[in-house]
Amino acid sequence: MLPLPVARALDTTLDRLVAPGYLRTGLAVRRHLPGWPADPAPGSLQGKVVAVTGATSGLGLATAEGVLALGAGLRMVVRDVDKAEGLARDLRTRFPNAPVDIDRCDVGDLDDVRRFARELEAERVDVLVHNAGAMPPRRTESPQGHELTMALHVLGPVLMTELLRPRLLGGRVLMVTSGGMYGQKLRDDDLEYLKGDYKPATAYARSKRAQVELLPVLEQRWSPEGTTVHATHPGWADTPGVVDSLPTFHKVTGPLLRDAVGGADTTVWLAATEPVPPGGRLWHDRRDRPTHLLPSTRTGSAERARTWAWVADQLDLDDA
């Protein structure tokens, strides 16, 4: 057994070197280090409702399976209801004591988010996992005219949470972000990616950077009601999204990538572990992590405030 300070130093080294910590070996090593947080207790989500967006594949499906295994009732928030129906039948067979419901919603369409929130039948939601994501190959706009990655990863999740606040009192909100955001600074001067040549991976990472930078704002806004907000990045996981959007990366790293269960591990842990971890932080492999690795990406309070003011204006929110 390594001394705890040495284990912590090894964990931090894996994180700062990126690849060793993000691949499957990083999770495997950390699981055997002293200080690795305990798994949530069996049945720790019994009687609770967890809503997962983008729950039909990859990290979303792995998250759904993980919370069902802990006794949660699941709401699959999806665009493709037909695909979800087939998956839900399988999940109900494997987890017969946990209810599985399906809700249609395109998180990138703000009008559809509003409809979904109005029609949601659940009396409450204990955990809301914002997992839905996309990396369009060219600049694409949402039905409201917003650049799609910002609509899907920032505007839609914030609006959905705002509309569900009465059902989330004392609950947890989890943003599934990406380690790719470490390479980008917050572009409060170009949140809709109107300047320069559009690059899909850059757009994706910029929107995920915005997610992370808004964490302290959202925590301050929602915590008075007892609702905590957290972000988690999965490392490098082998998912259909990676295969479709980053085929070269997948071809090179495929055998070394984590599986979806490994990528979703911290999200499931954050959904269930007690006591509730501190909100407003970024987590990876069950430990809170720095939001910046490069001095060039650091964000000041003015840039964060301008970004929040833009989000609040697009969603017609009180920006206090």
Q: Which amino acids are annotated catalytic?
A: 204
For residue 126, what are the contacts with CB-CB under 8 A and spacing of at least 6?
45, 48, 49, 50, 72, 168, 170, 171, 172
Half-sphere exposure of residue 205, counting CA atoms within 13 Å on the CB side? 15
Nearest to 133 by CA among 199, 194, 52, 197: 52
Per the CB < 8 A criterion, the answer to whether 49 and 72 are in contact is: yes
Site of tokens 């999940």: 91
Alpha helices (H) along 155-259:
156-164, 200-213, 215-222, 240-245, 247-253
The tokens 């069950």 sit on which residue? Answer: 286
CB 71 within 8 A of CB 95: no
